[in-house]
Structure 1
Amino acid sequence: MGQCPRRTLAAIGVAAVLGVSACGGTTSPPAAAPTSSGPASSGPASSAAQGPWTWTDDRGKNISLPQRPQRVVAQSAAAAALWDFGVRPVAVFGPHKLKDGGRDPEVGEVDVAKVESIGNVWGEFNVEKYASLQPDLLVSGMYQKNTLWYVPPDSVATVDQIAPSVGVQLSGKPLVQIIENFGRLAAALGADPKAAPVVEAKNRFDAAGAALKTLAAAKPDLKVMIVTATPDALYVAYLPDHPDIKYWAELGLNIVSPPEPTESEDGFWEILSWENADKYQADAILVDARTQSMKIEEMAKKPTWAKLPAVKAGQLYPWHAAERYSYLGYAKVMEELKANLDKARDDLVK
């Protein structure tokens, strides 16, 4: 389904489904303001920032700069991951503010009042504002190979002329490896990988994973399915192409997955008409919690969906499809998932 996290929603109908928001600002903070996590100084370049800076990203692209980047602009999910590791971008693009002015979950812990916005909806990337911020580096995740998430294709050439970019592959790799890649990038940008908040988050992630593994062993018959939806179709997650879902399966969770994805999706999903929403059944269903996905109360109006055992039993729980790839982000996700599945019956389907 094209461009959205897990390759969904945007290509199904950007106008219909990717309705997410917009904001702006006036002053640009330093890329790496000091925090308790200990990233690089925001003042004059520290000694560590002197000399050449190099990085090879997941496109195989080699970036070489005279010194470590100080002014980083990042797509919201990438910004959220870097933030958890101690890096403070000067600006973000992609979902970060809700219509009510609140912080979009996709931007994690980023203080949206202290960063500039250069776009908050799909297809919106203010190139002029981006240039005015004098960025040293752009960072974005990639779901499609060599395609920076939320950078409009018709703006790529211009954006590349303003500052180099780093792409971090978000599919086709293990969950932990993607998190580690963001951690290494953050360290290269001046963050302290041994800072207390980072170490605590890693320990919390490990504990959450262990707890989920224990639950999976205790409830081997608990079948879990993951979906997202639009008014026209139900999308059932194809396990191998989602790093988080694959990780949970490796921990022992019994995931209901299509044998293969719909050909048009290039992986990630099997698309079902609402009339065929009962093709797969599970004891518990995780539903895409993003603002642009169809809401559970809207899905309830679809007769075939409403008859599913998990739906009738109220065993519907959130799936944080666009969670940032950091230890803190996924520690919270797995803690919530375990708490939800703890109370779920495992005898609804055979």
Structure 2
Amino acid sequence: MAHIPRRTLAVLGAVVLLGAGACGTTDAPPSGTAAATASSSAQGPWTWTDDRGKQISVSQRPQRVVAQSSAAAALWDFGVRPVAVFGPHRLKDGGRDPEVGEVDITKVESIGNVWGEFNVEKYASLQPDLLVAGMYQKDTLWYVPPESAEAIDQIAPTAGVQLSGRPLVDIIEKYGELAAALGADPQAAPVVEAKKRFEAASAALKTLAAERPDLSVMIVTGTPESLYVAYLPDHPDIKYWGELGLNIVYPEQPTESEGGFWEVLSWENADKYQADVILVDARAQSMKIEEMAEKPTWAQLPAVKAGQLYPWHAAERYSYLGYAQVMEELTTNLEKSRDDVVSE
């Protein structure tokens, strides 16, 4: 699967372990019972079974967590404070990449910011207790370079959270369970408030979908060579919106070479599907709307001509807060959109 559209060393002989940075991983001590798959005692043994079926058993609860940027963002919203991140987190101008959510990038170490970049020696020097990453492909940790996977496994346990092929809410809950197992308080006021906000945003989008059944929406990303149209069943967020009743235009089948997720179209065939509204991948590494405007077929699409192009946050963190914000923005954009541009 291609990287831009989505998700597409020998073991270190001796590593000098440098001084440690921040030690705490949570804002507050745990309260209540941890997830059934884990023991969250700070003093006793700690176990966790990840979505690969891999059981992690260590002498005490991990304190120094390193996470892929989207996973770090989800854990952060649930109260866990990673000591380092990898994957998109810093923009070219030094600002925070949206993929890392609310993570304070001035307070975490960076061990890689782009695809294929993972500083194994620096990772080891941080003395990590656990690495956390999502998985779009089975048993494959997102943004962990395959050539470095063995070395990384030798340094600290890794935990994977499956992101494709499961409901959006299940993924959010999984991150919440892991955060609780790592000592975060699932009843902390920000977490409870974020869940209420997520539920309210879901209800508002469902109401809009019921009131505007003719408003059609398509989700895409682009590269200089191709337009990728999102295949609804493989994207948890888009599938969730469809379940809420949103009228989503999507391919019957994805392109086989992509392993799911997309139908790949040449720009000459970019008009194969049409919708009143198009959501465009907003990730920093994806093709920008102004660049797509130079493609003649794209420029003639009804939604493009009507100016009904809005962002799709393809790598949004799987937390209640993250998707509450996404759906609030989506509902606001759809409320101001016409539902008759395709028929013009």
Q: TM-score, normalised by structure 2?
A: 0.92
Corresponding position: 1:68 with 2:61: yes
Residue matched to 1:104: 97
Residues matched between the structures, number: 325
Gapped runs of 5+ residues in structure 1? 12-25, 42-46
The equivalent of 1:306 in structure 2 is: 299
Aligned match of 1:274: 267
Say which SS state the counterpart of residue 323 (structure 1) adopts: coil
Distance in 2 (CA, whole Å) between partners of 1:204 and 1:329 is 10
Distance in 1 (alpha carbons) for counterparts of 2:97 and 2:245? 31
Supply the distance in 1 between the matched residues of 2:42 and 2:23 (Cα, whole angstroms): 14
Amino acid at match of 1:153: P
The answer on whether the counterparts of 1:31 and 1:88 sit within 8 Å (CA) in structure 2 is: yes
1:92 alignment partner AA = V
Amino acid at match of 1:327: Y
User: Structure 2: 5+ residue runs without aligned partners?
Assistant: 9-18, 32-39
- Residue 90 of structure 1 and its aligned partner are, at CA, apart by 0.5
User: What secondary structure is seen at the aligned counterpart in 2 of 1:49?
Assistant: coil
Task: Measure the CA separation in 2 of the matches of 1:299 and 1:2.
Answer: 18
Q: How many angstroms apart in 2 are the aligned matches of 1:65 and 1:275?
A: 55
Distance 2:130 2:20 in 1: 18
Match of 1:331 among 313, 316, 324: 324
Please tell me whether the aligned partners of residues 5 and 321 of structure 1 are also in contact (alpha carbons under 8 angstroms).
no
Taking structure 1 as reference, are residues 158 and 31 closer, same or farther at Cα in structure 2, changes over 3 Å only?
Answer: farther
- The C-alpha deviation readout for 1:94-134, integer Å capped at 9, x for no partner, is 00000100000000000000000001011110000000000
Question: Superposed, which structure 2 residues align to 1:52-201 within 5 Å?
Answer: 52-201=45-194
- Once the two structures are TM-superposed, the CA of residue 281 in structure 1 deviates from its matched residue by 0.2
Amino acid paired to 2:99: E
Residue aligning to 1:236: 229
- Structural mapping, 1:212-227, within 5 Å: 212-227=205-220
Supply the AA of the counterpart residue of 1:229.
G
Amino acid corresponding to residue 191 of structure 2 in structure 1: V
Q: In structure 2, what is the Cα distance between the partners aligned to 1:246 and 1:116?
A: 34
Query: Partners in 2 of 1:103 and 1:223 — Cα distance?
Result: 32
Are 1:290 and 1:320, in contact at CA under 8 Å, matched by a contact in 2? yes
Q: After TM superposition, which residue ranges in structure 1, 4 or more long, deviate above 6 angstroms?
A: none
Q: Report whether the alignment pairs 1:211 with 2:204.
A: yes
The separation in 2 between residues aligned to 1:199 and 1:173, in whole angstroms, is: 23
Give the distance between the partners of 1:5 and 1:159, measured in 2 at CA.
26
1:33 Cα shift?
4.7
> Which of 284, 292, 309 is residue 316 of structure 1 equivalent to?
309
Asked if the contact 1:28–1:91 (Cα under 8 Å) also holds between the matched residues in 2, the reply is no
% identical aligned pairs? 80
Q: Offset of 1:337 from its aligned partner?
A: 0.1
CA distance in 2, matches of 1:285, 1:31: 43
**Cα distance in 2, alignment partners of residues 303 and 188 from structure 1:** 52
Of 261, 279, 284 in structure 1, the residue corresponding to residue 277 of structure 2 is 284
Q: Residue type of the partner of 2:167?
A: P
- Residue 87 of structure 1 deviates from its aligned partner by 0.2
CA distance 1:91–1:40, shift in 2 (3 Å): farther
Q: 1:336 to 1:210 in 2, by over 3 A?
A: same
Does structure 2 retain, via aligned residues, the 8 Å contact 1:6–1:242? no
SS of the equivalent of 2:105 reads: coil
1:192-235 residue CA offsets vs partner (Å, 9 max, x unmatched): 00000000000000000000000000100000000000000000
Match of 1:28? 21
Q: CA, structure 1 residues 332+39, in 2 after alignment: closer, same or farther (shift >3 Å)?
A: farther
- What one-letter code is carried by the residue in structure 2 that aligns with 1:256? V
Residue identity in the other structure for 2:311: P
1:157-203 alpha-carbon deviations (Å, 9 max, x no partner): 00000000000001000000000000000000000000000000000
Q: Which amino acid aligns with 2:242?
A: A
Write the distance in 1 (CA, Å) between the matches of 2:200 and 2:217: 21
* Equivalent residue, structure 1, for 2:289: 296
Give the alignment of 1:228-267 within 5 angstroms: 228-267=221-260
Q: Is the 8 A contact 2:229 2:263 kept in 1?
A: yes
8 Å contact from structure 1 (residues 3, 149) kept in 2: no
